[in-house]
Amino acid sequence: MVETKDLLARLLDEKKLSYCQDCGSCTGSCPMAKALPGKYNPRRLLQRVSHDLPELLKSEELWLCAWCYRCTERCPQGVQPTEIFLLTRNLASEGGMIPENPKAIMREIMRSGRSVSVPDGFDEWREGYGLPPIGATISQKAIEEQRKIFGEEYLRRIEA
């Protein structure tokens, strides 16, 4: 179990969270903030990582980043909000706080090797357009490999 203070130390050190000047370049660059004003704000999220972590781990806001990387590209201080959000989500995941939507997609990935399920008879449909078959899933060996790399403990987290 990663301790909260260890995670904070790691974020402050490795990912330079302590360099944040609160300038708001991240929020000004963020498509999700543009679409959801008052609901999503990466600058405020970064503040909450250092000041309000336990509550943040339970919040919906932590799972709204769409990974466009504009904040990470533009931060004048070299802070990488996307990396910080990933590590913060890792901590939420340890506490079993993964929202259902991403969990369902991850279960599909671990079952079939793909994030999108393949409908029945799909290869015949593809063939009609002159496209080679892709199979209902990736090879069984590949599925076993990915489940082994992910590991039992983590499989349990997304199946819970």
Residues engaged in binding other proteins (CB under 8 A) = 31-32, 34-36, 39, 60, 63-70, 72-74, 82, 86-87, 89-90, 93, 98-102, 105-106, 109, 113-118, 122, 126, 129-132, 134-135, 138-139, 141-143, 145-146, 148-151, 154, 157-158
Q: Does residue 77 sit in helix, strand or coil?
A: coil
| Choice between 53 and 154, CB closer to other proteins | 154
3-state class (DSSP) for residue 72 = helix
Q: Which is nearer to other proteins, 76 or 116 (CB)?
A: 116
Q: CA–CA distance from 57 to each of 32, 84, 160 (Å)?
A: 19, 13, 18
Between 21 and 39, CB nearer to other proteins: 39
**Closest distance of CB 21 from other proteins, Å:** 20
Least distance in angstroms from the C-beta of 39 to other proteins: 8
Give the CA dihedral 8, 10, 15, 21, nearest 10 degrees. 40
Residue 75: how many CB atoms within 10 A of its CB? Answer: 21
Amino acid identity at 36: L
